[in-house]
Structure 1
Amino acid sequence: PRIEGTNTPLKIFTYLKSGKPIVATNLSTHTQVLNENISMLVDSIPEGIAQGIISLLRDKELRVKMGREGKNFVEENYSYERFVEKVREIYEYILNLTYKETRVSGSKKR
């Protein structure tokens, strides 16, 4: 289990995609992506991790719900298709700014 760090581990996305519930430490490196709807966030101590695992083992409905919602979340927000869409939006934004700047600077020269 991770007890410190500053970047979100890429394996988080693979775990979410698996459709299985995740037990993760409640650190900003994880909460940048994870929340309590899609993962079991626990204290960074052995007892916290153990309690998270036990809670999921005891509650099948919660396990299934977290797994399903985690998979949906990663597919909607971090899939290849979503990445392509975000890149396209960035290019369109930049091109729109460039077009506006060209029109503004072009009209000033007249």
Structure 2
Amino acid sequence: MNSPGTAASAAIPYRSADDAALPGGSQWGLAIVLCLAALALMLWGLRRRGGMRSAWPRSREAWVDVLETRSLGTQTQLVVARYAGRRLLLSIGPAGTQCLRDDPDAEDAQA
């Protein structure tokens, strides 16, 4: 083990300017330019395809259709919605949402 007096006089190692183990300024610049080019190419490809939504099928019908909404007060609404071949009458207020009526959808029965 070293004595405390000898440790203070030992030289402190440092990285010299010509050390090739770490990238230099031109290598960092090239890495930044390549990363920016890859990001630009990715954004261009997403924009050309129509964004992230193009991954989803476009022919899928809406799961929920809100047919009509009426305000019954400052915090209460009455909503008629269509979901999975059903027509729902919903009361939405501060206490939560309640299904007041659940009937088969007349438009789905005719089709």
> Whose strand proportion is higher, 1 or 2?
2
> Whose helix proportion is higher, 1 or 2?
1
TM-score (norm 1): 0.30
**Structure ranking higher on relative contact order (CA contacts 8 Å, 6+ apart):** 1
